[in-house]
Amino acid sequence: MTANALVKQFYDVVNNPGNAPREWQKQQGGRVIGWLKTDVPEELIHAAGFLPYGIVGGKTKFSRVDAHLQSWACSLMRSCLGIALNDELNFLDGLIIPHTCDTTRMVSGIWRQIHLLPYMENFFLPRQVDRASSKMFMLAELMRLKESLEVYSGSAITEENLRNSIALYNENRGLMRLLFAMHEKTPGLISCRDLYTVVRASMMMPKETHSHLLEQLLQALRIQNNVYQGRDKVRVIISGPVWEPPELMDIIDSKGTVVGDDLLTGFRYIASDVNTEEEPLAALAERQLNRIPFACFDSTQNPRRQFLVNLVRQKQAKGVIFLHLKFCEPENYDYYDHKLALEKAGIPSTRIETEVGGVSVEQMRTRIEAFFEMLGGI
């Protein structure tokens, strides 16, 4: 198959959200456990014999959401609720909600009211990551989640199962990182939107199938490698929770290219593997504390500032575009510091206020294009 035909398959998964899990249910007769962004240890869900399914929002009708969640909540959570209210998630048997911020913390209660599922869990991450107690709690929480999944599945998660799931996930992440590396070297090979669609699809379909498709895609791209150019595109870093709305990527594609990010639905999702040498739960805990910093679980020095500066330098990017969801408090509190750190390092940046689900990108287009022009792109 050609690269194009393969890429299209990832788009099919993303554009028809329920299809892949429904198909899996039909074939395997198993149960699907959804998770809201982000950091939920899918390896555990998978090891329990369930299909993890990432609910990352999308186009929806917001009118029904208003009766449950105020219009000044982030559109990411509002669109997730909207999708649920629209019965588009009726293949779910369960849901795990990570407490990343006050919005998710409250959504966990609202969700039970409007869409009660047989299995509902919270996932608590330590908000401080600098002290010994955070590791202790992280491990205890993973243990709790494991037990809770075992109770629901009716059988124990064996160490062997967990090791197999970790290996499967590590492999999938590794493949996606290869794709990122290839794109960074030859940005014209595959568009940014295609690249990030591959990541997003991986949250919404069985990893086994995803890896299989992805291997074929990598192979196809290797063959086309020399044909494509794009090395002279203006290189930028993007930062924020999610790359929404997706059309935003097309705008970036038309002006330059992304060579690095810290997005929950981007490189941050695949950056950190789980150490296979260690006891699996301890390794999962360690991975969590080693992830790319994110507004909800920073250490107090805000290491993300330095992370961004380093990333720009390492990837020889020309600037940073912050994609910040309107009403997202955690990101907003850190923004001034990020901006300052970049300014000090002489790195231009811009902040685009984004929304998930059916918003016009025209305003964003003007801002993004102007930024690229400023960077000397076109």
Partner 1 sequence: MAPKQEFKTTAMFKQLMSQYYAQGVEARRKNIPVAWVTAVFPVEILYAAEVFPYYPENFGALAAARKIAHDLSELAEAKGYFYDLCGYARCGIGDAYAQEHPVGEIERPDIIFCCNTQCGSLPKWFEAASRFYNAPYFLLDAPLIEDAWEEQVKKYFIKQLEEMIDFLEQSTGKAFDYNRLVRVLDLSNEACRLWNEILDTAALKPAPFGFFDACFHMAPIVTWRGTEEAVTYYRALKEELDERIKKGIYAIPNERYKIYWDHIPVWPRLRWFADLFAEHGALVVVSQYTHSWAYNFDPSNPLESLADNYLKSFVNRSFDKRIDLKINFMKKYNVDGFVLFSNRSCKPNAFGLYDKSNVIKNVTGLPGVVFEADMSDLRFFSEEQVRSKIEVFVEQLKER
In the complex, the residues that contact partner 1 under the rule CB under 8 A are 67-70, 72-73, 99, 101-103, 105-110, 112-114, 122, 124, 126-128, 131-134, 136-137, 140-141, 144, 295-296, 298, 300-302, 326-327, 329-330, 332-337, 339, 351
For strands 319-325 and 94-99, give the pairing: unpaired
Q: Which of 325, 342, 364, 375 binds ligand SF4 (CB under 6 A)?
A: 325
Q: Does 103 bind ligand SF4 (CB under 6 A)?
A: yes
Q: Counting contacts by CB under 6 A, is residue 241 touching ligand SF4?
A: yes
By beta-carbon proximity to ligand SF4, the closer residue of 73 and 251 is 73
Instruction: Answer yes or no: are the C-beta atoms of 254 and 222 closer than 8 Å.
Output: no
Determine if 182 is a binding residue for ligand SF4 (CB under 6 A). no
Question: What is the C-alpha radius of gyration for the chain, rounded to an integer number of angstroms?
Answer: 20
Measured CA to CA, the distance from residue 74 to residue 98 in angstroms comes to: 15
Q: How many residues bind ligand SF4, per CB under 6 A? A: 14
> Is residue 356 a contact residue for ligand SF4 (CB under 6 A)?
no
Among the listed residues 60, 79, 104, 108, the single contact to ligand SF4 using CB under 6 A? 104
Residues between 292 and 311 with contacts to ligand SF4, criterion CB under 6 A: 296
Residue 126 CB, nearest approach to ligand SF4 (Å): 16
Question: Which partner in ligand SF4, partner 1, none is near 62 (CB below 5 to 8 A by kind)?
Answer: none
Q: Which residues are at the interface with ligand SF4 (CB under 6 A)?
A: 74, 76-77, 100-101, 103-104, 241, 296, 325, 328-331
